[in-house]
Structure 1
Amino acid sequence: MSKFIIFDTETTGFYEEDRIIEVGAMIIDDNDVQILDELCSTDVPIKMEATLIHKISQEMIKDKCKFTQTKFYKRLLELNNEQNYLIAHNMPFDLGMLEKEGFVNKFRIIDTLRVAKHLLVEGKSIALPYLRYSLKLYEEEEKEALKYGVVMKEHTAIGDVLVTKLLFSKLQILTKEKFPNENAIEKMLEFTKTPILQKNFKYGKYKGKKISDIYNNDIEYINWLKNNIELDMDIKYTFDTLEKKKKS
C-alpha cells in the first residue's frame, strides 16, 4: 500500500544559504496518520524577515537536534521509494531545502500548487492562504485539527500541512470531476510535471503586461530575465514557445 507524506518546512530565510528550522508532516498510510511536528537547529542564523513570518527565534532552536537527526528525516529516508508519494504546496522550495541536507528524492511528487494552476485557471491566486478561503477549506480545519491533535497557528509548518491535506483532498475531487475517466492521482502527477503557457507577467516592471508583447518589443528585458532570474517552469516554457514561433 502506497504512503502519502504531506510536509512543509519553515526556514532561516529564503536564500541559497538558508536551512530548515521546523518541519511538519502527516504520513498517511491507508487510514492511519502519523503526525510529526519538530523544530531543529542549524548553524545558519535566522533572518529577521523570516522570524517575522513564522515567529521562530534563535532561542527556540538552540537546544534542538540537527534536521538530519529529526524523526521526520529518518522516516523520510525509510519511505523514499517510487511506491510512495511526497506532497507539498510549492514543492521546488521545500524539496530544495531537503536536498541541501543531502536528500536524494525517489518519491513520486505531487505539488498542490501546480495542480491548482491547472485546475483553477480562473483563480486570482494559488497561494495556500488564498486557496484556504477561496475553496472554503477553513470550514473543515477545526474538525481535522481536533481529529489529529494539531494546534492551528498561522505560518507554522504543521498548520500549513493540515491545510495542504485539505487542499489535496479538494483537488482530488476537482480532478475526478474534470477527468472522470482518468485516475485522479496519476493526473495530479501529470499536472505537477506539465508546464502552462503564461499570458501576462506577474512580477517586474511589466507586471500585468502581455508576455508576447514584451517578447516582441523588449527582447533585452527577456534576455536579462533569462540570465539573471531563476525562472519557474511556466515562464521558461512560455519563453521557449515564443522563441519557436519567432523562428518558424
Structure 2
Amino acid sequence: MSKLLFLDVEATGTEKEDRLIQVAYKIEDDQCNKLFKPPVPIKLSAMAVHHTTEKMVADKEQFSHSQTKENLLRYNNEGAIFVAHNAKYDLGMLAKEGVVFNKHICTMKIARYINSDNRFENHQMQYLRYFYGIEIEATAHDAFGDILVLEQVFAKLYDDFVKKEYGNSNGVILDGVLNRMIEISMQPSLMTSFNFGKYNGKTVEQVASIDRGYLEWLLDMKTQKPEGEEDWIYTLKKVLKKI
C-alpha cells in the first residue's frame, strides 16, 4: 500500500515572488511542524491570515538547508503520495525550493469530482470539515492544524469517492483507488456552480440555459489571464460546446 504524505504550507503571500515560511506534514508516525526564515518579506495580507510575523521567523533556518527538505525529497523518492487541499498552491511553493512530488492527490479536486449532486455549497477544507461533522482541535490557517483536518477530510472524501466510482468498497484495492484519485487530481476540475458574480449560487448548467453570453464573456476574461483559471476555462469551454 502506498504511503500518504499529508502536507500544508504557509507562505509570505500568494504571488510568484512569495516563498514558504511554515511546513507541516504527517506520514504514518512521522510528523513535522516548523517555521523557516524566507528570502523575501512576509506580506501584511499574509500575516493577517496565518498570523506569522517577521519576528517569529527571524532566527529560524532557511528551508533550502533544512532536514525537512531532505525528508520530503526522501519521501518522494520512496514513492509517497503527496496529499493537500488545493495542492497546486502547496506544490508550487515547494517547487520554488526544489522539492517536486511525482504523485499527488488534491482533496479540493476530489471534492469537486464527487459533488455532482451539489450537496457541497463550496469546496473549501474548513467547510468540508464541518459538513462531515469532524470534531478536532485545530486552528485554521496554521499549517499543522490544517493537516490534522486534512487527514480526516481525506478519509471522508475517500469513502464517498469509493461509493461514487465503485458502488461499495468490497474488493476495491486501495492503490487502485488512490491511482484514480491521482489521475483526477492532475486534470482540470469541472466546476458545477458559481460562488461569485451576478449568478452567485446558481449552477453552471442553469446559467448556460439562460445566458450563454455571460459564459462567453467570462471565458474571454479568464483566457486573457489564465494563471490559476484552468478549471474555469476547462468548464466553460466544455459547457459552451454543448449548447
1:4-61 alpha-carbon deviations (Å, 9 max, x no partner): 2110001111111111000100012xxxx10100000012111111111111110010
Residue matched to 1:76: 72
**Cα–Cα, structure 1 residues 132 and 201, in superposed 2: closer, same or farther, change >3 Å?**
closer
Q: How does 1:101-180 map to 2 (within 5 A)?
A: 101-106=97-102, 108-120=103-115, 121-138=118-135, 141=136, 152-178=138-164, 179=166, 180=168
Residue matched to 1:226: 223
Output the CA distance in 2 between the equivalents of 1:219 and 1:199: 16
Output the CA distance in 2 between the equivalents of 1:221 and 1:26: 39
**Cα–Cα, structure 1 residues 165 and 221, in superposed 2: closer, same or farther, change >3 Å?**
closer
1:72-107 alpha-carbon deviations (Å, 9 max, x no partner): 21111112237320010110000010111122332x
**Cα–Cα, structure 1 residues 131 and 44, in superposed 2: closer, same or farther, change >3 Å?**
same
Output the CA distance in 2 between the equivalents of 1:244 and 1:218: 11
Q: Conserved in 2, the CA contact under 8 Å of 1:10 and 1:22?
A: yes
* Superposition CA RMSD, Å: 2.4
Q: 1:40 aligns with which of 36, 43, 56?
A: 36
Q: Conserved in 2, the CA contact under 8 Å of 1:215 and 1:222?
A: no
**Cα–Cα, structure 1 residues 101 and 205, in superposed 2: closer, same or farther, change >3 Å?**
farther
Q: How does 1:54-65 map to 2 (within 5 A)?
A: 54-65=50-61
Residue matched to 2:191: 198
Q: Conserved in 1, the CA contact under 8 Å of 2:112 and 2:191?
A: no
Question: Does 2:84 align with 1:98?
Answer: no
Q: Conserved in 1, the CA contact under 8 Å of 2:219 and 2:233?
A: no
Question: Does 2:11 align with 1:18?
Answer: no
1:201-222 alpha-carbon deviations (Å, 9 max, x no partner): 3334654564535543574443
Q: Conserved in 1, the CA contact under 8 Å of 2:33 and 2:143?
A: yes
TM-score by length of 2: 0.83
| Secondary structure, aligned partner of 1:155 | coil
Gaps of 5+ in 2: none
**Residue correspondences, number:** 230
Percent sequence identity is 33
Amino acid at match of 1:174: D
Gaps of 5+ in 1: 143-151
Output the CA distance in 2 between the equivalents of 1:163 and 1:237: 29
Aligned-pair distance for 1:230?
2.2
**Cα–Cα, structure 1 residues 154 and 199, in superposed 2: closer, same or farther, change >3 Å?**
closer
